[in-house]
Amino acid sequence: MKPLNRVLIEKDTSYNPIWIMRQAGRYLPEFRKIRKENPDFINLCLNENLSFEITLQPLKRFDLDAAIIFSDILMLPYGLGQKVEFEKNFGPKLGKFDLNKVSKVDQIDFTAKLHKVYKAIKKVSEDSIVSDKNTIGFVGAPWTLLVYMINKQSPKKQLKQNFFEDNFLINRILLIIEKFLKIHIKNQIENGANVIQIFDSWAGLLDEKDLPNYVYTPTLNLVNYVKSLNVPVICFPREIKNYKEFCEVVKPDAINIDYNLNPKEIVKYIQIPVQGGLDPKILLTDYENLKKETLKYLEIFKDHPYIFNLGHGILPETNPMMVENLTKIVRDF
């Protein structure tokens, strides 16, 4: 059985698999070299050979238990025909959202636009490096994608004041997003992804009263869909206040926790397997501090099914040697 499945399906507490969000990326010199030669980020995600190479880079360096495909949650709006580009030192910029145009996109068009992503997943899943590891596919959650598609940029920069004005438009877009996320998930699984992670990066923007409508229900529909395909699913509803309620309503196979949470509280009231939690900034400190903080999480979750990961993506300024140290600490535990 693949390492993550031991925890996700068998609820095994004798082994803590490790992988790292954004492990294929910005902190690795070999990635930076490729990125420098390929300034168009979307085209890089659609280059099946380079995407394959980037996905395997961290596995060639570190003793990790899973490959996560080098891609982006914004491949979904791209597949729907919305313009998506990444500007240096700014982040994603999306073009005008045209509901009429998006409503006309069908499954064949969508899959054709993203087929290189699926070919890259297939290449990764068939590579010998990954034979005894998991291949993780992923999507953005409906709410987070809605935010990008309407806001046209990261809400970290600014969330438009009139965001909730047109309820009809929002619910209409959510249905379209859900439909194509299911297609995107199915295509990833059919090409070798054997775990799906759903990233809800902007769930924390919502008031508690809005979570059922925008987070719980749309995410639950996706979770049930992934389960119907016999693949485990991990959810990361970043910065929401009530993880317990999320788990009880959405029922993913595991919950990824962010670094603002107290893991001692989580282990008390979350029944399902837990992933993540370590603050990525710890990797910018020193070995002793890294060891202390890593062992803290491993100790707290030692009798609970637990996958070691961070509480957010690894930071670009991380020294790869610290990742090497981290994997060793987890392995030696």
Each residue's pLDDT tens digit, 273-327: 999 999 999 999 999 999 999 999 999 999 999 999 999 999 999 999 999 999 9
What three-state secondary structure class fits 73? coil
Mean of the per-residue pLDDT values of the chain: 96
The one-letter amino acid at 266: I
Mean of pLDDT values over 25-54: 97
Kindly report whether the global pTM for this prediction surpasses the value 0.75: yes
| Cα dihedral 115, 133, 295, 29 in deg (nearest 10) | -50
The CA distance from 170 to 178, in Å, is 12
pLDDT at 24 over 80: yes
Which 3 state secondary structure label does DSSP give 187? helix
Instruction: Compute the distance between CA of residue 14 and CA of residue 18 in angstroms, rounded to an integer.
Output: 13
Angle in degrees, CA 233, 268, 230, rounded to 5:
15
pLDDT at 157: 65
Checking if the pLDDT of 21 tops 80, the result is yes
CA atoms within 13 A on the CB side of 176: 25
CB burial readout 131-155, b (16+ within 10 A) else e: eebbbbbbbbbbbbbbbbbbbbbbb
Looking at residue 129, the DSSP 8-state letter turns out to be: G
Q: How far apart are CA 297 and CA 306, in angstroms?
A: 9
- CATH number of this structure's domain 3-332: 3.20.20.210
| Spans of all domains in the chain | 3-332
Average pLDDT of the residues in 247-271:
97
| pLDDT beyond 70 at 158 | no
Residue 160 has pLDDT above 80, yes or no: no
Longest dimension (CA), the chain: 56
Instruction: Please tell me the distance from the alpha carbon of residue 92 to that of residue 97, in angstroms, as a whole number.
Output: 14
Segment 51-110, tens digit of pLDDT: 999 999 999 999 999 999 999 999 999 999 999 999 988 899 999 999 999 999 999 999
Query: Residue 298 in contact with residue 278, Cβ under 8 Å?
Result: no
Q: What is the pLDDT of residue 164?
A: 72
State pLDDT tens for residues 110-154. Answer: 999 999 999 999 999 999 999 999 999 999 999 999 999 999 998
Q: What is the pLDDT of residue 178?
A: 98
Helices 217-228 and 167-190 sit at what angle, rounded to 10 degrees?
A: 20
pLDDT tens for each residue of 162-220: 667 788 889 999 999 999 999 999 999 999 999 999 999 999 999 999 999 999 999 99
